[in-house]
Amino acid sequence: MTPMIETRGLSKRFVKRLDLAAKIAERLGADVREEVVSAVDRVDMTVAEGEAVGLVGESGCGKSTLGRMIAGILPPTEGRILFRGVDVATMDEREGKKAALQVQMIFQDPFASLNPRMRVEDIIGEAPVIHGIVAPRDKADYVEEVMRRVGLDPDYRRRYPHQFSGGQRQRIGIARALAVKPEFLVCDEAIAALDVSIQAQILNLFMDLKEALNLTYLFISHDLGVVKHISDRVVIMYLGRVVEVADTEKLFAAPNHPYTRALLNEVPRLDLRRRNYQPVVGEIPSPLDPPSGCHFHPRCPHATRRCREEAPVLKEIAPGRLSACHLNDGT
């Protein structure tokens, strides 16, 4: 079956432009160069219809950048994004707009992503009217329906975002995304800023909506407990590259990649009391100057000379399981 979303060799490089001081220094003959960050480096991944895929990795590894490219709000530097098998770059304007509505994004900070001067009814109702999803005269009823769906009291429709709690604001963000009837939601740390008891409410809402509306998710989170709970499959990233892909259950039962293993080891767990932490050594390297070969080699307990010289490719190690580590070529 054609996946709903597929990326092929998708890359994003950000160029840190020289500031004035650096430009002057360059004129005077100093060796300064524009720095390039490979935020996302040739990523191939798929998300099937109705699936929830978790995207995990440490800060700065490129999760948000990948998510924003998939959501169509950040142009890739290289590579392709296929929506239901069609390259979005080759779509005409009408098709492109349609595909853009189908993929919506939900952000970590619900406050920053909501216009403080708009009433909730307009935040939720404006886009569907503009895109002809509802007629202007049906807007009020439609807003009411969407608000109910995400557990907001429609009586609050004339309020402004600052009059809501964090959890309610996240519900408004979800309602705004749902109002244009998307098939695919990219949730970027969508519950990270919420209190524990509120996180459970929003996670339940995501699971209910998935059932009710047959939604497909890319669920970006640094919280492995949350990812384990909500995802069917998990993609692990390290410094711009995908290092492992697996069914959630298999990944947590038997992680393959040394980085995944380290990550799972570090997760605090309620059932591990007064444990002896055995930390992974070393810092997360700077993406401006990533290590040669396998990016993980300075922190990897199994690193060999080959790891320092040659980047491992992501390949199938079992049906539906991918990993990028030289150890899998072992004897």
Ligand X SMILES: Nc1ncnc2c1ncn2[C@@H]1O[C@H](COP(=O)(O)OP(=O)(O)OP(=O)(O)O)[C@@H](O)[C@H]1O
- The answer to whether 312 contacts ligand SF4 (rule: CB under 6 A) is yes
- For 69, the token pair is 């490219």
How far is it, in rounded angstroms, from Cα 190 to Cα 203? 9
Find residue 40's DSSP bridge partners. 12
Q: Which does 64 bind (CB under 5 to 8 A by kind): ligand SF4, Mg ion, another protein, none?
A: Mg ion
Residue 35, helix vs strand vs coil: strand
Residues 32-61 that bind another protein (CB under 8 A): 58-59
241 binds ligand SF4 per the rule CB under 6 A: no
Confirm if 212 and 131 have CB atoms less than 8 A apart.
no
Among 4, 55, 227, 307, binds ligand SF4 (CB under 6 A): 307
Q: Which of positions 188-247 make contact with another protein (CB under 8 A)?
A: 195-201, 203-204, 207, 222, 224-226, 228-230
Question: Can you say whether the dihedral through the CA atoms of 63, 69, 73, 78 is positive or negative?
Answer: positive
Mapping DSSP to helix (H, G, I), strand (E, B) and coil, where does residue 219 land? strand
The length of the chain is 331
To another protein, the closest distance from the beta carbon of 228 in angstroms equals 6
Residues that bind ligand X in the complex, under the rule CB under 6 A: 14, 37, 39, 57, 59-65, 222, 287
| Binder among 180, 200, 213, 327 for ligand SF4 (CB under 6 A) | 327
Choose which of 11, 64, 216, 221 interacts with Mg ion (CB under 5 A).
64
Partner from ligand SF4, Mg ion, another protein, none binding residue 7, C-beta < 5-8 Å depending on class: none
CB 238 within 8 A of CB 215: no
Query: Is residue 265 a contact residue for another protein (CB under 8 A)?
Result: yes
Break the chain down into helix, strand, coil percent, rounded to 5.
40, 20, 40
The option from ligand X, ligand SF4, another protein, none interacting with 173 (CB < 5 to 8 A, set by class) reads: none
Note whether 296 binds ligand SF4 by CB under 6 A: yes
Q: Does 266 engage in binding with another protein (CB under 8 A)? A: yes
Does residue 113 interact with Mg ion by CB under 5 A? no
- Compare residues 103 and 150 and give the one whose CB is closer to ligand X: 103
Angle formed at CA 311 by CA 309 and CA 317, multiple of 5 degrees? 130
How many chain residues touch ligand SF4 (CB under 6 A)? 13
175/187 with CB nearer ligand X: 187
3-state secondary structure 227-266: HHHHCCEEEEEECCEEEEEEEHHHHHHCCCCHHHHHHHHH
Question: What is the arrangement of strands in the sheet containing 86-87, beginning at the earlier edge strand?
Answer: 35-47, 5-16, 78-83, 86-87
E runs forming strands in the chain? 5-16, 35-47, 52-56, 78-83, 86-87, 103-106, 184-188, 216-220, 233-238, 241-247, 315-318, 321-323
Q: Which residues bind another protein (CB under 8 A)?
A: 58-59, 165, 167-168, 195-201, 203-204, 207, 222, 224-226, 228-230, 248-249, 262-263, 265-281, 283-284
Q: Which residues bind ligand SF4 (CB under 6 A)?
A: 257-258, 294, 296-297, 300, 302-303, 307, 312, 325-327
Q: Which residues bind Mg ion (CB under 5 A)?
A: 64
